[in-house]
Amino acid sequence: MTFEEKTICSDIVYHGKLIDVRRDIVTTVDGQSSREIVEHADGVVIAALKPNGNIIMERQYRKPVEDVVFEIPAGKMDPGEEMEEAALRELREETGYTPEHIRFLTSSWPSVGFSREVLHVFLATGLHAGETDLDDNEAIDLEEHHIDELYDMVMRGKLTDGKSQVAILMVKGLIDRGELDDYLE
């Protein structure tokens, strides 16, 4: 049977602009231990699919990995914001696109070992182009790639962003099951 840890006490040890770090003292199988937990706003991930099978992708420098990351549009939810509302806002801000249809696919915990963050994955279709509205500190290059190419990149380990892998695998599964036949050319 799996042992469930109980929190004895909890303290915020770092309060930042984007994250807080909490230290919990917990019961363990053989006594007590401490857990450091990152508290971060939940986020949204948007697979923006065009009728030709292309998905809107981004290249963006990510300081934690010191590299340009190839990824699906995504962003954090604002306080009090609903998931779908955040997905629509982030898609429009980062890509300029507004969808006719948005569909919730799944939620996922990207780093359960140290973070409470939840990412909510959406599929956006019926895309209408518009102007981006990037945050002052954002620099994003947009690209379109066919779902089959992206799926192949995931399966060969060439697309390493976890949230993008989840979104691409889910969209590819929907396509392969024929659930998007009415939308694709």
Q: Lay out the sheet containing 19-28: strands in order across.
A: 7-15, 19-28, 31-40
Q: What is the mean pLDDT of residues 56-74?
A: 95
pLDDT for 111 equals 92
Distant-in-sequence, close-in-space partners of 114: CB < 8 Å, separation ≥ 6: 36, 37, 38
Residue 36: pLDDT band with limits 50, 70, 90: very high
Q: Which of 100, 138, 143, 144 is catalytic?
A: 138
Percent of the chain with pLDDT over 70: 100
pTM of the model: 0.91
In the chain, where the domains are located: 6-39, 43-183
Mean pLDDT for 62-79 is 95
Report the candidate in 85, 87, 70 with the shortest Cα–Cα distance to residue 121: 87
Close Cβ partners of 7 (under 8 Å, ≥ 6 residues apart): 24, 25, 26
Give the per-residue pLDDT at 134: 79
Q: Give 20's contacts (C-beta < 8 A, 6+ positions apart).
A: 12, 14, 38, 39
For the chain, give percent helix, strand, coil, nearest 5.
20, 45, 35
Cα-Cα-Cα-Cα dihedral sign, residues 182, 146, 132, 72? positive
Whether 138 is catalytic: yes
pLDDT value, residue 174:
97
43-183 to CATH, choices 3.40.1160.10, 3.40.50.1220, 3.90.79.10, 3.40.50.2020 = 3.90.79.10
pLDDT at site 132? 87
Q: How many CB atoms lie within 10 A of CB 8?
A: 11
